């Protein structure tokens, strides 16, 4: 299982052709207290870089983009009643959606964990 | 504007040492939030006491060469819809600086000093983003013999808000305990620091705004922060607190095209000032807007679900016709649900009216509700 990151601070944890997507702890800290998460419908077909979800913090709404092309297999229903899970556990319990990845080549343009850490320090 | 062109208040170093996330605001580098984050800062202010740096706001005094309060009051009354000439020493009012069309140039606090020998003076606090324009406008419109003394370079302003604020400040000077909402005193807070303390604020809580000399503000803030119930609070929570209290934010809910009547501020205009023989700036618009029940009105909005409606969200009637726009909206930490304010055609202003909000192309049910969303705790004795 490997984790990849985007420049927009999403992560995708990949096992075979299934990816679980969330936002990084860096992004969660920047957003502040999350009060609502709008998740996509099951079966939605996504283009790489397309809006996947909307995260509402106390101060603003922010889009979350799909790191890869694929189809939504499931969404994290915990976020409906406990959106703060995104802040409490951004890398784990605060995941957003599970996607079946349609083109594994999409992963090649993403960053590794080390590359992403360097990216965050640089930005 | 590059960060290094931004102005700093005298508390800049204290913000940094409290790990503030700083943002540009009205030309100043100001704290958005500190370590607690907006949500907890908000709740702390509602349960204990929050300390705000509002030194970026404009402070000035108006006085007359003949030392007559009435001369000063009449001069200002020509620019605002509120009655000032009946203001007792040590009392203050909220009002709006109006242009000739009755639009709001700025909203402001107007206090009559209560200090012996200073009772002829008015003390004004205006918004940071408008202060230069305000000062210029006031100056230009003052009659001969009435002067403006801009105190921006000499005075800082802090605000202590919340249920513990009174006890904390009373610990510095016991005479503060009896001060009523919208009243002020000039008192020593330490043997060396004098403050102009008014019982007011913009959070809906009981609280105080304290004007002190620039050279004293850091010492005073450090003294207040020694109290474990006091936390520094940033602009983020200031915004969510004022929204819960149903208070307008200049530039968002009110601007130069909107009249105080449309903004629901008729309570700040005394009955005697709503008469056709009045002669202040924009009075025609004030009277016309009172009579025109179809002119737009600022209302409280409660979305039915959990999705916050942000500023700019379209408001529709049940048939899908656009009837207005949201001007302030977000999440209420106290109520745990979204709240908003926006303008609707006067026909839809009644509490309980069902409306729809268009959020990300979806129509979401909501209703018109009364403001404040969270009941205010002003101390009236």
CATH of the domain at B106: 3.30.1360.120
pLDDT score of A96: 98
Give me the domain span that covers residue A21. 2-122
Residue recorded with tokens 């006491």:
B49
Q: How many domains does chain A have?
A: 1
Let me know if B269 is exposed, middle or buried by CB neighbors in 10 A (0-12, 13-18, 19+): buried
| Chain B 335-374, residues with CB within 8 Å of chain A CB atoms | 338, 360
In a shared domain, residues B36 and B165: yes
Mark yes or no for CB contact B331/A54 under 8 Å.
Answer: no
Residue B333 contacts A where some CB pair is shorter than 8 Å: yes
Measured between CB atoms, which of B33, B239, B308 is closest to A36?
B308
Residue A54 contacts B where some CB pair is shorter than 8 Å: yes
pLDDT score of B4: 73
In a shared domain, residues B104 and B116: yes
B125 domain residue, yes or no: yes
pLDDT score of A123: 65
Residue A26 contacts B where some CB pair is shorter than 8 Å: no
How far is residue B293's CA from residue B347's CA, in Å, rounded to a whole number? 7
CA angle B244-B246-B249, nearest 5°? 100
Mark yes or no for CB contact A36/B338 under 8 Å.
Answer: yes
How far is residue B273's CA from residue B302's CA, in Å, rounded to a whole number? 33
Cβ contact B269:B82 at 8 Å: yes
Mark yes or no for CB contact B39/A58 under 8 Å.
Answer: yes
Three state DSSP letters for chain B:
CCHHHCECCCCHHHHHHCCCEEEEECCEEEEEECCCCHHHHHHHHHHCEEEEECCCCEEEEEEECCCCHHHHHHHHHCCCCCCCCCCCCCEEEEEEEECCCCCEEEEEEEEECCCCCCCCCEEEEECHHHHHHHHHHHHHHCCCCEEEEECCCCEEEEEEECCCHHHHHHCCCHHHHHCCCCEEEEEECCCCCEEEEECCCCCCCCEEEEEEEHHHHHHHHHHHHCCCCEEECCHHHHHHHHHHCCCCCECCCECCCCCCCCCCCHHHCCHHHHCCCCCCCCHHHHHHHHHCCCCCEEEEEEECCCCCCCCCCEEECCCCCEEEEEEEEEEECCCCEEEEEEEECHHHCCCCCEEEEEECCEEEEEEEECCCCCCCCCCCC
Q: Scanning every residue of chain B, which has its alpha carbon at the shortest distance from the alpha carbon of A35?
A: B331
- Is the ipTM, as predicted for this complex, more than 0.85? yes
Residue B303 contacts A where some CB pair is shorter than 8 Å: no
How far is residue B121's CA from residue B377's CA, in Å, rounded to a whole number? 29
In a shared domain, residues B228 and B306: no
How far is residue B160's CA from residue B217's CA, in Å, rounded to a whole number? 13
B259 domain residue, yes or no: yes
Mark yes or no for CB contact A32/B307 under 8 Å.
Answer: no
Final residue before a domain boundary, out of B268, B292, B316 = B292
B284 domain residue, yes or no: yes
Task: Write out the two tokens for B163.
Answer: 């249920």
pLDDT score of A59: 83
pLDDT score of B293: 86
pLDDT score of B3: 62
In a shared domain, residues B264 and B324: no
Residue B308 contacts A where some CB pair is shorter than 8 Å: yes
In a shared domain, residues B248 and B113: yes
Q: Scanning every residue of chain B, which has its alpha carbon at the shortest distance from the alpha carbon of A29?
A: B37
Cβ contact B309:B299 at 8 Å: no
Q: Scanning every residue of chain A, which has its alpha carbon at the shortest distance from the alpha carbon of B239?
A: A59
- The residue of A26, A36, A59 whose CB has the most chain B CBs within 10 angstroms, and thus the best one to mutate to test that interface, is A59
Residues of chain A with pLDDT under 70: 123
Residue A109 contacts B where some CB pair is shorter than 8 Å: no
Mark yes or no for CB contact B333/A54 under 8 Å.
Answer: no
**For strand B146-150 and strand B194-198, is the pairing parallel, antiparallel, or unpaired?**
unpaired
Q: Which DSSP state fits A111?
A: B
CATH of the domain at B354: 2.40.30.110
In a shared domain, residues B288 and B302: no
* DSSP-derived 3-state class of residue A87: helix
How far is residue B163's CA from residue B165's CA, in Å, rounded to a whole number? 6
Task: Write out the two tokens for B27.
Answer: 């030309």
Cβ contact A100:A18 at 8 Å: yes
Residue B140 contacts A where some CB pair is shorter than 8 Å: no
Provide, as residue numbers in chain A, all residues whose Cβ is less than 8 Å from the Cβ of B22.
Answer: none
In a shared domain, residues B276 and B146: yes
In a shared domain, residues B348 and B229: no
In a shared domain, residues B305 and B280: no
Would you write out chain B's pLDDT as a tens digit for each of its 381 residues?
456 789 999 999 999 999 999 999 999 999 999 999 999 999 999 999 999 999 999 999 999 999 999 999 999 999 999 999 999 999 999 999 999 999 999 999 999 999 999 999 999 999 999 999 999 999 999 999 999 999 999 999 999 999 999 999 999 999 999 999 999 999 999 999 999 999 999 999 999 999 999 999 999 999 999 999 999 999 999 999 999 999 999 999 999 999 999 999 999 999 999 998 999 999 999 999 999 988 999 999 999 999 999 999 999 999 999 999 999 999 999 999 999 999 999 999 999 999 999 999 999 999 999 999 999 999 998
Provide, as residue numbers in chain A, all residues whose Cβ is less than 8 Å from the Cβ of B306.
Answer: 35-36
**How many angstroms separate the CA of residue B237 from the nearest CA in chain A?**
9
pTM over 0.90: yes
Mark yes or no for CB contact A59/B306 under 8 Å.
Answer: no
B378 domain residue, yes or no: no
Mark yes or no for CB contact A61/B310 under 8 Å.
Answer: yes
């Amino acid at each position: 299982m490997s984790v990849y990151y985007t420049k927009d601070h999403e992560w995708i944890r990949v096992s075979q052709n299934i990816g679980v997507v969330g936002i990084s702890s860096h992004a969660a800290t920047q957003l502040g207290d999350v009060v609502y998460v709008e998740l996509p419908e099951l079966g939605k077909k996504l283009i790489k870089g397309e809006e996947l979800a909307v995260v509402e913090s106390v101060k603003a709404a922010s889009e979350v983009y799909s790191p890869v092309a694929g189809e939504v297999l499931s969404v994290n229903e915990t976020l409906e009643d406990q959106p703060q899970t995104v802040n409490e556990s951004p890398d784990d319990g605060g995941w957003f959606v599970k996607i079946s990845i349609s083109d594994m080549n999409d992963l090649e343009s993403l960053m590794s964990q080390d590359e992403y850490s360097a990216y965050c320090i640089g930005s | 504007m590059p960060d290094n062109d931004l102005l700093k208040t005298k508390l800049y170093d204290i913000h940094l040492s409290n790990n503030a996330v700083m943002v540009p605001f009205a030309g100043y580098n100001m704290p958005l939030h500190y370590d607690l984050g907006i949500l907890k800062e908000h709740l702390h202010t509602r349960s204990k006491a929050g300390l705000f740096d509002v030194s970026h706001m404009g402070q000035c005094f108006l006085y007359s060469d003949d030392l007559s309060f009435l001369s000063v009051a009449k001069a200002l009354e020509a620019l605002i819809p509120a009655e000032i000439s009946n203001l007792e020493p040590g009392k203050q009012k909220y009002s709006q600086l109006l242009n000739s069309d009755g639009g709001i140039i700025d909203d402001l606090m107007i206090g009559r000093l209560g200090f012996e020998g200073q009772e002829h003076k008015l003390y004004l606090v205006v918004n940071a983003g408008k202060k230069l324009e305000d000062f210029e406008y006031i100056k230009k419109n003052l009659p001969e013999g009435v002067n403006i003394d801009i105190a921006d370079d000499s005075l800082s302003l802090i605000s202590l808000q919340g249920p513990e604020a009174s006890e904390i400040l009373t610990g510095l000077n016991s005479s503060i305990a009896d001060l009523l909402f919208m009243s002020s005193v000039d008192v020593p807070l330490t043997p060396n620091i004098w403050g102009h303390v008014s019982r007011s604020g913009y959070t809906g809580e009981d609280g105080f705004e304290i004007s002190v000399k620039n050279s004293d503000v850091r010492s005073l803030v450090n003294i207040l922060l020694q109290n474990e119930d006091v936390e520094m609070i940033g602009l983020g929570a200031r915004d969510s607190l004022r929204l819960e209290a149903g208070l307008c934010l200049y530039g968002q809910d009110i601007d130069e095209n909107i009249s105080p009547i449309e903004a629901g501020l008729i309570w700040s205009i005394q009955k005697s000032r709503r008469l056709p023989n009045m002669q202040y700036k924009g009075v025609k618009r004030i009277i016309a807007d009172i009579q025109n029940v179809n002119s737009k009105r600022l209302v409280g909005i409660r979305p039915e679900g959990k999705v916050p409606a942000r500023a700019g969200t379209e408001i529709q009637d049940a048939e899908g016709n656009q009837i207005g726009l949201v001007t302030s909206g977000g999440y209420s930490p106290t109520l745990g649900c979204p709240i908003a304010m926006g303008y609707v055609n006067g026909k839809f202003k009644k509490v309980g009216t069902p409306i729809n909000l268009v959020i990300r192309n979806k129509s979401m049910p909501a209703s018109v509700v009364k403001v404040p969303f969270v009941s205010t705790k002003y101390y009236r004795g």
